[in-house]
Chains A and B, each alone.
Chain A
Amino acid sequence: MPDKKNLNLINWIKAFNKKHAVGAPFILLIVSTALFFSLQDTELNLTTIGRLTNSNFRTWLPVLLLTMGQALVLISGGLDLSNGSIVSVGNVILALQITTTDEPWHNLAIVALVIGFGLAAGFLNGFLTVFLGLQPVIVTFATSFIYAGLALLMLPSPGGAIPRDYTNVYRNTQYLGIPISLIILVVFLLIWEFFRYRKYGHFLYAVGGNPTAAYTTGVPVTWVKISTYVLSGFLASLGAITYSLLTGSGFSGSGADMTLPSITGAIIGGISFSGGSGSLLGAVFGGIVLGNIRRIISIIRIDSWAVTLVNALVILFSLATPGLINLLRRKK
């Protein structure tokens, strides 16, 4: 009897893996998380694990949201280099405009403005690449300059503040010991899961896999591609909101260091630069792995002059690994 049950479980995992393609990222996730917890000085019990999980996920959520957006763009065969700059703009708007909790409607309008900006910026990216037929990478590279300039124009030096009443909600809310940041993440993954096996999801993978074939079979390639950029912009604006709630202040370069991690997370998660493969769940796992690695680096306290180099090397190594594995496989 137990054998059969065991078999069922294995089959279920196999089916799950086939459906979501998260094998390697999942193993990396387990290993890196285990390593992270084993390196803690404090005694591990439910309270400390809960505290660490909260502090990890509230820090990672902005980048993980960007990673999800980046994953959508990558699956459709594009690349969004401007999502970090969209975060910068959103962060600056929020830090400058959010007032005290006495004016909830004003604040809500500002949040809507930030989301509106994310959508508009994403649409502009999509419009330029798809309708005008420009290369996605160079276009989002150019627009990233425009958006970053906009952020710098509005807030030349770091400043502004988000009221503590708001930031506390994001930083410390927990339901049944699960931090709100993790709940938000799971909700977004579930929403995507709903669309993944409906029309939109099928279209997305078709467009990324072979745009010409998709076009001839009647997939609205143009709109699917634009939608990925819009979604990436939207998720970047949510990244801006969560990032602002995390730090409670404004900085025009806040998103600059998020673009590369968002790409790296997706690549670790099994998405390829050529598009059409991988899954959002894998990308989120990849993002968490990257977050874990960065946490581990900060725990082992390397020479502060070497931090920039080590972080860059981690990204380089993470991006190189899937390619290296492919190379070795082909040799065999």
Chain B
Amino acid sequence: MNETQLTNNVTKPIKKPIKISPPLIAMLIAVVLFLLSGLLPAGYSTLQGAIRQGLNILRLASFIAIIGAGQTLVIISGGEGIDLSAAPIVTIGALLTYMIINGQNSLILPVLLLVIAVGAVIGLVNGLGITYLKISPFVMTLVMAGVVQGILILWTKGYYEGKVAPIMTQLIARDLVWGIPGMIFLWVIIGILMTLLLERTRYGKQLFAIGVNRTAARLSGVTVNRMVLFTYVLAGAMAAFSGFLLVGYTQNAGPILGNQYLFPSIIAVAIGGTQMSGGKGSYIGTIAGAIVIQLISSLLTTMQLPQALQQIIYGTLLVIILIIYGREKGLRS
């Protein structure tokens, strides 16, 4: 009796659930959504129209994905990591660029360095509060969002005057070759760099390690606090850099420029299969997620839904994605 059971167990082929990686699922959803959007009255009808529409979606998605880059790192680092201060950091990056460069090509490099430094400093404060003062990342970055917004108000006093440098317009907003805007090339470069950072460097390996289990990572020689600190610095610098790029595209900056990108960028990271509790994820996923969320957003805009309803849909979407990907083990198991 016992033996037969045993042999039964051995001979029975072990049922493996079919597993497709989340980035792939996101990509598939993106393709389906894109094809569906062609059926809408405002959709495309020719191949050329489809390509134009596709490029447009990609261009808009690129900002979500680039702002989502730092977010991906912070979320992978675990410990409920998130950067809610990304929105005002993007804004401050954009405003610094817009107001200081003021149309002069020669100022691009120094301002770019300044923007990245400012972002890094804000990220450093975030990181210090989270690691050494043990403030919950959500709360810490939310408070920092207020501080940065306050600095913005005090600095600009509600007066926004400036101009983007011509070279930036040329490189970011205009079509570079084959009708593809420069922004998309930049996005590809950033995508490659991010993937290399996560998959091929010591930093990337340690980042996943602290995301899975901080105690285990510490015991195997990772300086956890320094890693977390560095990740927030990196995220701050990247958000500020996104602001630099964003203003090159919009050609105009205001006090809440970055706000509309924060929630989409977090959803993009989640759709891409990056575990909200950390330790698992990829930048490819964020890219795919950004395209999906941009398609959804375009769809909602063409349907002329009020802003409030879009907000509800985004929130619900995040909850649904969390239910699909983000479940933690219960106490019973």
Main secondary structure of the interface of A (DSSP, over half): helix
B135 lies within 8 A of A273 (CB): yes
Tell me whether A148 and B331 are in contact in the complex, defined as CB-CB below 8 angstroms, given that A153-B306, A327-B132 are known contacts: no
Q: Which of B133, B138, B157, B277 contacts A324 (CB 8 A)?
A: B133
Q: Which parts of B313-328 form the interface with A (CB within 8 Å)?
A: 314-316, 318-319, 322-323, 326-328
Does chain A have a CB within 8 A of B1? no
> Restricting to A276-313, which residues have a CB under 8 Å from any CB of B?
303, 305-306, 308-313
Smallest CB separation, B72 vs chain A (Å): 15
Q: Does B151 contact A (CB under 8 A)?
A: yes
The answer to whether B311 touches A152, judged by C-beta atoms less than 8 angstroms apart, is yes
B246 to chain A, nearest CB (A): 22
Q: In this assembly, does B146 line the interface, its C-beta being within 8 Å of a C-beta of chain A?
A: yes
9 contacting pairs across A/B (C-beta < 8 A): A133-B327, A133-B328, A142-B319, A260-B139, A260-B146, A272-B134, A308-B146, A315-B146, A319-B133
Task: Closest A residue to B134 by CB, please name it.
Answer: A323
Q: Which of B309, B311, B329 contacts A148 (CB 8 A)?
A: B311
New contact pairs (19) apart from A141-B138, A149-B311, A323-B132, CB-CB < 8 Å: A79-B139, A133-B327, A134-B326, A134-B328, A135-B276, A137-B136, A142-B319, A149-B308, A151-B308, A260-B139, A274-B134, A312-B149, A316-B147, A319-B135, A320-B129, A320-B133, A323-B129, A324-B133, A327-B132
Q: Is the CB of B143 within 8 A of A311?
A: no
The residue of chain A having its C-beta at the shortest distance from the C-beta of B150 within the complex is A309
A156 and B308 within 8 A (CB): yes
Given known pairs A153-B308, A260-B143, A323-B133, the reply for A143 and B150 (CB within 8 Å) is no
- Nearest-Cβ distance from residue B119 to partner chain A, whole angstroms: 18
- Asked if B20 is an interface residue, CB under 8 A from chain A, the answer is no
Known: A305-B153, A305-B154. A146 touches B139 (CB 8 A): no
B80 is an interface residue with CB less than 8 A from chain A: yes
Q: Are A312 and B327 in contact (CB under 8 A)?
A: no
Contacts of B315 in A (CB 8 A): 142-146, 149
A286 to chain B, nearest CB (A): 14
Residues of B within 8 Å of A327, CB to CB, are 132-133
Interfacial chain B residues near A153, Cβ < 8 Å:
306, 308-309, 312
CA distance A316 to B129 in the complex (A): 9
A263 at the interface (CB under 8 A from B): yes
A residues in contact with B136, CB < 8 Å? 79, 137, 273
Interface size on B, residues (CB 8 A): 47
Could you tell me if A316 and B144 are in contact, using CB atoms closer than 8 angstroms? yes
Binding site for A on B (CB under 8 A): 80, 82, 129, 132-136, 138-140, 142-144, 146-147, 149-151, 153-154, 157-158, 263, 276-277, 306-312, 314-316, 318-319, 322-323, 326-332
> Are A308 and B133 touching (Cβ within 8 A)?
no
Given A142-B318, A150-B312, A309-B154, A319:B306 Cβ within 8 A: no
Closest to A318 in B: B143
Determine if B133 and A156 form an interchain contact, defined as CB atoms under 8 angstroms apart: no
- Chain A hits for B306, CB < 8 A: 153, 156
Q: How far is it, in angstroms, between the C-alpha of A145 and the C-alpha of B276 when the chains are bound?
A: 17
Instruction: List the B side residues contacting A134 at CB < 8 Å.
Output: 322-323, 326-328
> Contact partner of B322 among A139, A151, A309, CB < 8 A?
A139
B327 in contact with A132 (CB, 8 Å)? yes
Bound state CA distance, A153 and B308, in angstroms? 5
Q: What residues of B have a CB within 8 angstroms of the CB of A319 in the complex?
A: 129, 133, 135, 139-140, 143
Contact of A269 with B by CB under 8 A: no
Residues on the B chain within 8 Å of A149, using CB: 308-312, 315
Give A102-152 interface residues, CB cut-off 8 Å to B: 128, 132-135, 137-139, 141-146, 148-152
Q: Please give the distance in Å from B207's CB to the nearest CB on chain A.
A: 19
Give the contacting residue for A137; candidates B135, B138, B330; CB below 8 A: B138
Q: Which 4 A-B pairs have the closest CB atoms?
A: A309-B150, A323-B133, A145-B315, A312-B146
A128/B319 in contact, CB under 8 A: yes
Q: Does A211 contact B (CB under 8 A)?
A: yes
A188 within 8 A of B: no
User: B329: which A residues are within 8 A, CB to CB?
Assistant: 133
Query: Complex Cα distance A148/B132, Å?
Result: 32
CA distance A306 to B312 in the complex (A): 33
A215 interface residue per 8 A CB criterion? yes
User: CA of A312 to CA of B82 in the docked complex: distance in angstroms?
Assistant: 19
- In the assembled complex, the Cα of A323 lies from the Cα of B143 at a distance in Å of 15
Task: Report B-chain residues with C-beta under 8 Å of the C-beta of A71.
Answer: none
CA distance A274 to B323 in the complex (A): 24
Residues of A within 8 A of B149 (CB): 308, 312
- Closest residue of chain A to B320 (Cβ to Cβ) is A142
Contacting residues, chain B, for A274 (C-beta < 8 A): 134
CB distance from A299 to the nearest CB of B (A): 19
Docked CA distance A277–B165 (Å): 54
Q: Does A212 contact B (CB under 8 A)?
A: yes
Bound Cα distance from A139 to B308, whole angstroms: 19
Structural contact, A312 and B326, CB atoms closer than 8 A? no
Contact among B138, B139, B147, B311 for A309, CB-based, below 8 A: B147
Taking the nearest CB of chain A, how far is it from the CB of B293, in angstroms?
Answer: 14
A145 to B266 Cα, complex, angstroms:
13
Is A305 within 8 A of B147, CB to CB? no
A28 close to B (CB within 8 Å): no
A29 within 8 A of B: no
Q: With CB as the reference atom, state the residue of chain A lying closest to B129.
A: A320
